């Protein structure tokens, strides 16, 4: 049986489909930087995500990136939202952060299939395997869901590299 966890407050999918949004525009908006910390989207305090937090979760944690000094939560654009989780992907140090923006038409990827370990977009049903580098396993998304490698600094998880591919909706791309 398909087990899905819906993220409170996100079901409304504040990012409606943006089929006409170009990648160039999306890339200009994203402000995630190497060395950034991570913070739960539903946490109003000043707690940063640790490797222990993720290990004790049953699924991915939806996060904002935070500047390395911990002062600026980078929530100026929804495209900065990240799903953080433990990963068996080789070379990822055990932790990984997937973009939460669907590769089809930029809805928020808000559902989690805990049995198959798929992130799912509720707009048109695209599903991404988190254990296969975000590979598309269902739906119309034309590309894998990009991920960022994470590192650990004093037990806090930090962004440790760049996205594996172009993020955002691609429904309007010519290719």
Beta-bridge partners for 149: 96
* Residue 27 DSSP label: H
Q: Which is nearer to ligand FES, 17 or 156 (CB)?
A: 17
140 binds ligand FES (CB under 6 A): yes
* Binds ligand FES (CB under 6 A): choice among 17, 138, 152, 156: 17
- Closest separation in Å from C-beta 158 to ligand FES: 28
- Sketch the per residue contact string, 94 through 133, with ligand FES: x for CB under 6 A, - otherwise: --------x-xx-x-------------x-xxxx-------
Is residue 26 near ligand FES by the rule CB under 6 A?
no
For residue 170, the minimal CB distance to ligand FES (Å) is 10
Of 47-76, binders to ligand FES (CB under 6 A) are: none
Please list the residues that pair with 98 across neighbouring strands. Answer: 83, 147
In angstroms, give the least distance from the CB of 167 to ligand FES.
Answer: 13
Q: Which is nearer to ligand FES, 12 or 56 (CB)?
A: 12
From 81, 78, 106, 101, select the one nearest 21 (Cα to Cα). Answer: 106
- 3-state SS, residue 163: coil
According to the binding rule CB under 6 A, does residue 136 interact with ligand FES?
A: no
Q: What's the rounded Cα separation, in Å, for the pair 156 and 105?
A: 32
Half-sphere exposure of 69 (CA within 13 A, CB side): 2
Which one of residues 37, 66, 141, 157 is an interface residue with ligand FES (CB under 6 A)?
A: 141
- Under a CB-based contact definition with an 8 Å cutoff, are residues 3 and 115 in contact? yes
Structure token digits, residue 172:
């309007």
Can you tell me the distance from the alpha carbon of 151 to that of 148, in angstroms, rounded to the nearest whole number?
A: 10
Residues within the interface to ligand FES (CB under 6 A): 17, 102, 104-105, 107, 121, 123-126, 139-141
């Amino acid at each position: 049986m398909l087990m899905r966890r819906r993220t409170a407050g996100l079901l409304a999918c504040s990012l409606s489909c943006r089929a006409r949004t170009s990648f160039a525009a999306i890339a200009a908006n994203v402000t995630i930087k190497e060395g950034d910390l991570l913070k739960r989207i539903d946490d109003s305090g000043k707690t940063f995500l640790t490797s222990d937090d993720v290990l004790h979760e049953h699924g991915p944690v939806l996060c904002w990136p935070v500047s390395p000094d911990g002062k600026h939560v980078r929530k100026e654009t929804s495209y900065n939202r990240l799903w953080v989780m433990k990963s068996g992907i080789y070379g990822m140090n055990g932790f990984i952060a997937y973009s939460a923006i669907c590769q089809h038409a930029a809805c928020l990827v808000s559902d989690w299939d805990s049995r198959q370990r798929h992130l799912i977009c509720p707009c048109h049903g695209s599903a991404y395997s988190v254990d296969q580098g975000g590979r598309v396993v269902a739906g119309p998304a034309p590309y894998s869901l990009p991920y960022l490698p994470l590192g650990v600094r004093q037990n806090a998880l930090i962004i440790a590299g760049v996205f594996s591919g172009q993020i955002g909706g691609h429904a309007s791309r010519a290719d």
